[in-house]
Chains A and B, each alone.
Chain A
Amino acid sequence: AQSVSQHNHHVILSEAASLELGCNYSYGGTVNLFWYVQYPGQHLQLLLKYFSGDPLVKGIKGFEAEFIKSKFSFNLRKPSVQWSDTAEYFCAVTGPNTGNQFYFGTGTSLTVIP
């Protein structure tokens, strides 16, 4: 079965700092990769996704992620965070080799200090 690791459990940044959240998955082959965000009191929403093509994908609100197949990674980045980015971030992986089931990481809680 697939497993997804998010090594940063809690991240605290000041506004304007750069962000990078790690995501690694265990099972190779064809994968579809996602980052979801859960703002306080809101439901999970899709931040960005990768299915194929350019490994650098851009999402909403200035976020981007890079798929590095050799490292089984899909790290999330943002050059300058804002207070409104305070949220929980989840990485997810799916693919035909694992029954197309979604596998989620345990999440990273980001707090941005104004």
Chain B
Amino acid sequence: KAGVTQTPRYLIKTRGQQVTLSCSPISGHRSVSWYQQTPGQGLQFLFEYFSETQRNKGNFPGRFSGRQFSNSRSEMNVSTLELGDSALYLCASRAGEAYEQYFGPGTRLTVT
């Protein structure tokens, strides 16, 4: 099986712009979660989608949003980018609630 894939791998944006990141889960996995990883902060949970419904949400401002499509692929959008949004954004998928997560390589977002 192919692993979790994320596109693009690297992105440079300027403050005030918006960005959309994409994630394709492992085939058959219906749950997709998004995390922000920064040095010293570890993995900060953004949200989780299951069968196109947002199931859990972390403590991030409304500028961060996401969605999941019927084929389980997911997108994450960040509007009005700030310098502090520079981070590695990770996507993870799992088959269901009682399963482990599998991570993608991440998208490195740099905001200048």
A51 near B42: Cβ-Cβ < 8 Å: no
How many residue pairs bridge A and B at CB < 8 Å?
46
Q: In the bound complex, do residue A43 and residue B42 qualify as a contact, i.e. CB atoms below 8 Å apart?
A: no
Complex: chain B residue closest to A48, CB-CB: B100
Indicate which residue in B41, B45, B105, B106 contacts A102 across the interface (CB closer than 8 Å): B45
Chain B residues 61 to 112 lying within 8 A of chain A, measured CB to CB, are 90, 92, 97-98, 100-106
A102 B33 Cβ-Cβ under 8 A: yes
Does A51 contact B98, Cβ atoms closer than 8 Å? yes
The docked-state distance in angstroms from the alpha carbon of A51 to that of B100 is 10
Query: Contact mask A88-114 → B, CB, 8 Å, 1/0?
Result: 001010001001111111110000000
CB-CB nearest in chain B for A99: B56
> Does residue A80 face the partner (Cβ distance < 8 Å to B)?
no
**With an 8 A cutoff between CB atoms, is A34 at the interface?**
yes
Q: Pick 26 A–B contacts, CB within 8 A, sort by A.
A: A43-B103, A43-B104, A43-B105, A43-B106, A44-B90, A44-B92, A44-B103, A45-B103, A46-B101, A51-B98, A90-B42, A90-B43, A92-B101, A96-B97, A99-B56, A100-B55, A100-B56, A101-B55, A101-B56, A102-B33, A104-B35, A104-B43, A104-B45, A106-B40, A106-B41, A106-B42
In the bound complex, what is the Cα–Cα distance between A103 and B103 (angstroms)?
14
Is there an interface contact between B103 and A101, defined as CB atoms closer than 8 Å? no
Is A49 part of the contact surface with B, judged by Cβ < 8 Å?
A: yes
Residue ranges of A at the interface with B (Cβ–Cβ < 8 Å): 32, 34, 36, 43-46, 49, 51, 90, 92, 96, 99-107
**A84 vs B105: C-alpha distance in the bound complex, in angstroms?**
20
Q: A99-B56, A102-B92 are in contact. List 9 more A-B contacts (CB 8 A).
A: A45-B103, A46-B100, A46-B102, A51-B98, A100-B97, A100-B98, A101-B45, A102-B33, A105-B42
CB-nearest residue of chain B to A94: B97
Contact partners of A34 in chain B: CB under 8 A: 100
Closest to A6 in B: B42
Closest residue on chain B to residue A98 by CB atoms: B56
Taking CB atoms, residues of chain B closer than 8 Å to A106 are: 40-42
What is the bound-complex CA distance between A43 and B41, given in angstroms? 17
